[in-house]
Structure 1
Amino acid sequence: MAVLHIEEGGPNEFNPWNVYFDGASNALGHGIGAVLISPNGKYYPATTRLNFNCTNNMAEYEALVMGLQAAIEMKADAIDVYGDSALVICQMRGEWKTRDSKLIPYKKLVTELSKQFKEISFNHLPREENQIADALATLAAMFKIKEAVDVRLFYLEVREVSAHCLNVKEEVDGKPWYHDIMQYIKHHAYPENVTDNDKQTFRRLAMGFFLSGEVLYKKSRDQILLRCVDVAEANKIMKEVHEGTCGAHANGHMLARQIMRAGYYWLTLESDCINFARK
């Protein structure tokens, strides 16, 4: 089983690619993992299950070979190789001799593959710094699959907010999330097709807001007025904050907490308003 994600994009001949590799052997089987990182920071993970008996050192070499072959496929000219196997790294550096008859063919193969790069270096690093390759190798070793099974590419994403916030559709009707609240405060007008119970809920919700001209504010628990902004304004504000345009009036940790709390509140409130309007 092998999973390899390769995106289009030419290599940068002036900066080396990084190759991380690792092998895993346990009672369930043997697996190898490798990760290529391009000069512009794109990750290309690969993992393979080994359906033959091998030692831990053989699995490490198998992972290294897979990583080098993937780098050749990506047309990388220079690579920095990283692994947590001191034996493999020191043997490839020429610091240790290769005496194990099972490893000699691997050493020769890696040497031949290394000749296809203009520059290559082998670097040892602690296992805790090789987490991605280690996780990929462990994944392949943990379960068995049939040869006919087609395992598709998987993606790893990072979520900064909870699932119900990600489900919010931003301004689906072209109006800001606070449009109905503003219309009620200005004209005492309710959204269309709402029940009497919904009207009562809407009035209670609107009591927490304050309108000044055309600007709507949300009253916080400590009575501080928080300006309500639409998606365009929110994106502009976040960009300026991250770029440091406005400067930081609090320490870094406090500023990050305030931004996260404000963003969570905005998404949660928008979700509640949208769900209310859909009733």
Structure 2
Amino acid sequence: MEEYEACAMGLRVAIERKVKVLKVYEDSSLVVYQLRGEWETKDPKLVEYRKLILELVKEFEEITFTFLPREYNQMADVLVILATIFQVNKRANMIPIKMQVYETLAQCYSVEEEDDGHLWYYDILQYIKHQTYSQQASKIDKRTIRRMVVGYVLDGKILYRKGSDQVLIRCVNAREARSILEEVKRDMWNT
């Protein structure tokens, strides 16, 4: 339902800006295939959203809906960031934004020290190991920790966070993080 709401909101913005040709990239296969008419819409809530979007679609001369899996949808994140940066006069025409894709990744990082002497993942580790909380943990903190631990795996003494693609990402302290980043930076400059 949220995907339909986001799609409808995006279409309304495009209509408001008098866009006539639009390519919609959506990371919900359900929404894309239902809007294309390739899949049947059975859920009564979704039927109403589909009707709404199909009414909005009539405002465009040409519109296409393309399924783009979430892991390949980095462009959406970039466009959201750009949209928050630029202010455009409503009467002015939009100037096309030209983008290039580089093979080398840009690196941006921030390493924060642990203020209380504990690792940043200390509470998560304690709950996974012993099902205990710190003494100052509130009810909300406890509930948050219980929700968070689902995304972590302990292998021996090493804690990993599960990535969205189920790849395990090792949890490290600030010193280890700086060391890893320096090594990566050295390797990048030496290639």
Class of the TM-score when normalised by the shorter of the 2 chains:
0.3 to 0.5
Structure 2-normalised TM-score? 0.41
Higher helix share: 2
Higher Cα Rg, which structure: 1
Higher strand share: 1
Structure 1-normalised TM-score? 0.28
